[in-house]
Amino acid sequence: MSSICIDGSHGEGGGQLARMAVALAAITGRTLHLTNIRAGRARPGLMAQHLAALKAVATLSSGELSGAEPGAREIRFRPGSIRGGDYRFEVGTAGSIALVLQAVLPVALHADVPCRFAVTGGTDVKGAPTWDYVQRVFLPWLARLGVEVQIESVRHGYYPRGGGEICLTLAPCRHLKPLMLDTAGCLRDIRGMAHVARLPLHIPQRMAASARAALADFGPVAIEARVVEEPEACGTGGALTLVAETEHSLLGATTVAERGVPAERLGEAAAAALRAEVRSGAALDVHAADQLLVYLAQAEGVSRFTVRELSLHARTAIWVTGQFLPVGFDVSHGQGLDRVTVLPRNNEIGACRNC
């Protein structure tokens, strides 16, 4: 198998590209030289949460990772065999657990036996999916593709302290199902989860109330408001996750509590994001679209979905996935939606590691 050099400044040019490149290198068995890591950022190079994800993939794939240190703008990675078993990864501070999982889960599908992951860090941090979104939107999509994930325990952790932890088990899956979704279909219900830790109950209640008011024209909106107590939470923080269930789809939107930002504004922001998704009629929300591409690229058949707007993250995911896997992507626009068709050449994917 030949080595590959990836320019980490391409497209979105952030940590997502670095995580995906290393994960795809592990899946295909290709030696990777990754350059210009996060070149366009105010603080270029690898930060703690990026390092955690890359090292996790290297551990899972018995690989050799060189140059991976804080601030590094270039790394080399030689993957080995992907082994199942028990793993513990520590992100440190409040680095996002969800972003580490984005790197390791697609790799774990190729393990010899199930993987059990314990990951510590932040569960609800700005700039990353909340844990409720992962559990109630992303993992159900994986289940639809045939992936079996069991969540064993969760402790919430927030910026800047972190201290959250999740434990989950994922079974290997070499035969992913394709996804064919042109529309979300009729809205069935909207529900949500507003939680805080070490803060008064009225804060999540106000988040929930403002979100319900902003979504009232869709009908009743059930949002649970709660204070998460020890040992289910570490530190001070909170988040709001909204989920719209439709005839064919799940659409999500989130906000994370920030010091100085009123609870009402958080609720309104999440509601506005979800309203845009529901009104568009798209099959996937903008965040699910970019997260699922690496799985659809390995599915046993053609996938197609619509999205309100194909984000730069998603376009970057399309580019980097195409550098590693024998897959084609077709993107078109019509009736206010972006339509993405994923065309894997399955007979080649299974042989990637043996090329």
Query: CATH number, domain at 28?
Result: 3.30.110
User: What does pTM read for this prediction?
Assistant: 0.95
Return the ∠ at Cα 25 (arms to 327 and 169), rounded to 5°. 95
Q: What CATH number does residue 104 fall under?
A: 3.65.10.20
- Measured CA to CA, the distance from residue 292 to residue 285 in angstroms comes to 11
pLDDT in tens, 219-244: 999 999 999 998 999 999 999 999 99
Domain stop point among 174, 193, 208:
174
Give the 3-state secondary structure of residue 12: coil
**199 shares its domain with 266:** yes
| 164 phi/psi in degrees, rounded to 5 | -75, 165
**274 shares its domain with 296:** no
The active-site residue, picked from 50, 110, 287, 313, is 313
**124 shares its domain with 168:** yes
**116 shares its domain with 35:** no
**305 shares its domain with 262:** no
E-assigned strand segments in 158-236: 164-170, 180-181, 187-197, 221-227, 233-234
Q: Which domain holds residue 114?
A: 82-174
Q: For residue 162, is it within any domain?
A: yes
Q: For residue 264, is it within any domain?
A: yes
Give the 3-state secondary structure of residue 107: helix
- Measured CA to CA, the distance from residue 106 to residue 223 in angstroms comes to 31
**7 shares its domain with 57:** yes
| 192 phi/psi in degrees, rounded to 5 | -160, 170
Can you give the pLDDT at residue 1?
A: 66
**63 shares its domain with 112:** no
Q: For residue 179, is it within any domain?
A: no
Number of domains in the chain: 4
Can you give the pLDDT at residue 351?
A: 46
**Structure-token pair, residue 225:** 């408001």
**64 shares its domain with 149:** no
Q: For residue 132, is it within any domain?
A: yes
Q: For residue 18, is it within any domain?
A: yes
**76 shares its domain with 99:** no
**Structure-token pair, residue 27:** 């899946």
Domain stop point among 174, 206, 222:
174
**Structure-token pair, residue 303:** 């996938």
Domain stop point among 80, 104, 127:
80
- Measured CA to CA, the distance from residue 125 to residue 15 in angstroms comes to 15
Q: For residue 63, is it within any domain?
A: yes
**142 shares its domain with 73:** no
E-assigned strand segments in the chain: 4-7, 32-35, 64-66, 75-78, 85-90, 115-121, 149-157, 164-170, 180-181, 187-197, 221-227, 233-234, 237-246, 250-256, 303-307, 327-334, 337-344
Q: What CATH number does residue 196 fall under?
A: 3.30.360.20
**117 shares its domain with 140:** yes
**124 shares its domain with 36:** no
Q: Which positions of the chain have pLDDT values less than 50?
A: 347, 349-351, 353-355
Q: DSSP code of 297?
A: T
Can you give the pLDDT at residue 345?
A: 84
Annotated catalytic, 195? no
- Measured CA to CA, the distance from residue 105 to residue 142 in angstroms comes to 10
